[in-house]
């Protein structure tokens, strides 16, 4: 049970959701948007979250979109990770998001909920980073579309009252050579020591990582090192490690040296797999 009372709203449209948020915010009720709800329940029980109003986005049609149109795959932020994985229009996303938690949890966790989560892993982010997907954002000023990586720096940066509606990805990138890798301490559904998404586009490997640092990231400098075939694989990996955006995580799941070891081995495996492939 959540140890506090709150008002519950379930708008039917984007405009209604934005208006409800603005009104509740003006009333200083600290409203929050709800996707799947699993994290709100968890944090509420731990007294790590307080609010007087929750706005459930799952009834908004645009947030449940799953369609291919005019060369673009559109995925609503309200889709569950299970729905995304079973549709399998974006295999790399399936490999990443399809390994989050267990099947029961994935039926509840939404795409937007995972992306905007307070947990450090947010594995669904990885595929969108390497695919240069576009985020569709709704707020008081209307709808805006922006390259996902332009507003994702350690977390998704939204203006007050905005929410993620959809993620759009060019269909030409959906079936390119790819690999999703999740390395855990002792089981497939555990938190990752390292989780990576690799996509080979125009002869170059792209890379996004989570679990290694305290947030998901894609570093172009690391990709330059990874694709420098004038260097031996061991040297490429060594150079990649120079461009980590933050210290390597050191916790009960795995020490920093061990996470680095796992990440380095993963890079070696993928270099060997993709060398020479277009």
Instruction: List pLDDT tens digits, range 150-182.
Output: 999 999 999 999 999 999 999 999 999 999 999
Q: Tell me, what CATH number does 219's domain have?
A: 3.30.390.50
Inside any domain, residue 106 = yes
Residues 166 and 182 in one domain: no
Inside any domain, residue 227 = yes
Give the pLDDT confidence score for residue 109 in this predicted structure: 87
Q: Closest Cα partner for 57 from 74, 27, 38, 36?
A: 36
Which of 158, 173, 188 delimits the end of a domain? 173
Q: Report the residue count for the chain.
A: 278
Q: How far is CA 212 from the centre of its chain?
A: 15
Inter-helix orientation angle 256-274/233-241, to 10°: 140
Residues 83 and 165 in one domain: yes
Residues 49 and 67 in one domain: no
Residue 191: DSSP 8-state:
P
Give the pLDDT confidence score for residue 3 in this predicted structure: 55
Instruction: List pLDDT tens digits, range 94-150.
Output: 998 777 766 677 888 899 989 988 888 899 999 999 999 999 999 999 999 999 999
Give the pLDDT confidence score for residue 118 in this predicted structure: 80
Give the pLDDT confidence score for residue 211 in this predicted structure: 95
pLDDT mean across residues, the chain: 90
Residue 49: DSSP 8-state:
-
Q: Closest Cα partner for 16 from 46, 56, 70, 74?
A: 56
Inside any domain, residue 1 = no
Whether 17 shows a pLDDT value over 80: the answer reads yes
Give the pLDDT confidence score for residue 66 in this predicted structure: 97
3-state SS, residue 53: strand
pTM for the full predicted model? 0.91
Give the pLDDT confidence score for residue 189 in this predicted structure: 64
33-54 b/e with 16+ CB inside 10 Å = b?
A: bbbbbbbbeeebeeeebebebb
Residues 125 and 154 in one domain: yes
Taking CA atoms, 141 is separated from 16, 49, 138, 160, 168, in Å, by 13, 27, 8, 11, 20
Which of 16, 36, 55 delimits the end of a domain? 55
Q: Which residue has the higher pLDDT, 49 or 1?
A: 49
Whether 1 shows a pLDDT value over 70: the answer reads no
Residues 152 and 80 in one domain: yes
Q: What is the largest CA-CA distance in the chain?
A: 61
Residues 205 and 266 in one domain: yes
Domain residue limits at 268 = 178-274
What would the mean pLDDT of 235-242 be, rounded to a whole number? 97
Q: Tell me, what CATH number does 126's domain have?
A: 3.30.465.10
Whether 4 shows a pLDDT value over 80: the answer reads no
Residues 95 and 147 in one domain: yes
Which of 23, 38, 55 delimits the end of a domain? 55
Judge contact between 162 and 179, C-beta under 8 A.
no
Residues 108 and 140 in one domain: yes
Residues 78 and 160 in one domain: yes
Inside any domain, residue 2 = no
Inside any domain, residue 49 = yes
In angstroms, the CA 258 to CA 273 distance is 23
Give the pLDDT confidence score for residue 224 in this predicted structure: 97
Give the pLDDT confidence score for residue 41 in this predicted structure: 58
Helical spans, DSSP H, in 220-274: 220-226, 233-241, 256-274
Residues 155 and 184 in one domain: no
Written as one string, the DSSP assignment of 105-170 is: HHTT-BHHHHHT-SSS--THHHHHHHTT-EEEEEETTEEEEEEHHHHEESEE---TT-EEEEEEEE
Instruction: List pLDDT tens digits, range 192-203.
Output: 899 999 999 999
Residues 183 and 269 in one domain: yes
Instruction: List pLDDT tens digits, range 31-69.
Output: 989 875 555 555 555 555 667 898 999 899 999 999 998
Residues 163 and 244 in one domain: no
């Amino acid at each position: 049970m959540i140890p506090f009372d709150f008002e519950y709203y379930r708008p039917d449209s984007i405009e209604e959701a934005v208006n409800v948020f603005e009104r509740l915010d003006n009333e200083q009720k600290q409203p929050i948007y709800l996707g799947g709800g699993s994290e709100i329940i968890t944090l509420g029980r731990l007294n790590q979250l307080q609010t007087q109003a929750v706005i459930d986005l799952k009834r908004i049609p645009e947030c449940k979109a799953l369609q291919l149109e005019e060369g673009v795959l559109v995925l609503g932020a309200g889709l569950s990770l299970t729905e995304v994985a079973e549709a399998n229009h974006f295999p790399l996303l399936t490999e990443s998001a399809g390994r989050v938690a267990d099947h029961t949890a994935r039926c509840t966790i939404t795409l937007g909920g995972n992306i905007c989560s307070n947990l450090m892993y947010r594995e669904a982010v990885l595929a969108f980073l390497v695919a240069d997907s576009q985020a569709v954002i709704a707020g008081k000023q209307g709808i805006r579309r922006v390259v996902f990586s332009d507003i994702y720096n350690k977390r998704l940066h939204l203006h007050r009252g905005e929410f993620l509606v959809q993620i759009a990805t060019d269909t030409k990138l959906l079936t390119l050579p790819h690999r999703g890798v999740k390395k855990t301490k002792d089981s497939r559904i555990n938190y990752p020591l390292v989780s990576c998404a690799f996509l080979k586009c125009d002869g170059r490997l792209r890379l996004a990582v989570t679990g290694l640092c305290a947030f998901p990231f894609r570093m172009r400098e690391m990709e330059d090192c990874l694709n420098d075939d004038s260097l031996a694989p061991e040297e490429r990996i060594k150079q990649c490690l120079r461009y980590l955006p933050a210290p390597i995580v050191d916790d009960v799941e795995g020490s920093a040296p061990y996470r680095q070891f796992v990440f380095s081995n993963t890079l070696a495996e993928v270099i060997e797999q993709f060398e020479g492939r277009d």
